[in-house]
């Protein structure tokens, strides 16, 4: 029961982060549209738009990735997985989650060191906006750590469930007609 509660709470937290990511996408579409229209109709350049879009793409990726993984809405080769027996699917899923978890932990650690160096040395971005590099890139170690936690929870799902692929398939297809997520997560 504790696993299910942790899973649900983390899933809710990542849904909030995914909503922030979606708002960033909406905002980016507005300022890019503004930039295109201002250039075309008024010959006004907005060089800040490119930098802001670049920084936003990093944040969008790392804010949304943990939720996408928990909802099993990422790109994967289902024809291969579906051809395996349930037992083999579980074993394969456990191995993949473990390797991905370790990879994310290493990436979070290394990018965390880089982020600390950006902060400690007050390294600035060599762009139109002279801002500290830590601001656009602090999300990389944070998002990767959250992705590691998502893989750890997914690993728990593979270990605890007899048919985790069926549960994940239910999660990935839930809300396809209305955009809402699955109500039950195990």
**Cα angle for residues 34, 36, 38 (degrees, 5° grid):** 65
What's the pLDDT tens digit per position in 142-186?
A: 999 999 999 999 999 999 988 888 788 787 777 666 656 555 444
Mean predicted lDDT score pLDDT of the chain: 89
Domain ranges in the chain?
2-173
What's the pLDDT tens digit per position in 9-25?
A: 999 999 999 999 999 99
SS (H, E, C) the chain: CHHHHHHHHHHHHHHHHHHHHHHHHHHHHHHHHHHHHHHHHHCCCCHHHHHHHHHHHHHHHHHHHHHHHHCCCCCCCHHHHHCCCHHHHHHHHHHHHHHHHHHHHHHHHHHHHHHHHHHHHCCECCCCCCCECHHHHCHHHHHHHHHHHHHHHHHHHHHHCCCHHHHHHHHHHCCCCCCCCCCCCC
């Amino acid at each position: 029961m504790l696993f299910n509660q942790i899973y649900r709470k983390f899933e809710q937290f990542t849904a909030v982060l995914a909503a922030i990511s979606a708002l960033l996408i909406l905002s980016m579409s507005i300022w890019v549209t503004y930039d295109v229209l201002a250039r075309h109709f008024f010959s006004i350049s907005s060089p800040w738009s490119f930098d802001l879009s670049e920084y936003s793409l990093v944040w969008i990726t790392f804010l949304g990735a943990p939720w996408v993984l928990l909802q099993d809405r990422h790109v994967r080769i289902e024809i291969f997985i579906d051809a395996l027996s349930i037992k083999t699917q579980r074993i394969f899923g456990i191995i993949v989650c473990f390797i991905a978890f370790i990879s994310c932990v290493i990436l979070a650690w290394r990018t965390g060191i880089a982020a600390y160096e950006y902060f400690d040395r007050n390294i600035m971005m060599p762009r139109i906006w002279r801002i500290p590099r830590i601001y656009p890139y602090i999300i990389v170690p944070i998002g990767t750590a959250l992705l590691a936690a998502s893989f750890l929870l997914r690993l728990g799902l593979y270990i605890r469930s007899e048919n985790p692929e069926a549960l994940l398939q239910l999660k990935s297809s839930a809300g396809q007609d209305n955009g809402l997520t699955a109500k039950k997560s195990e």
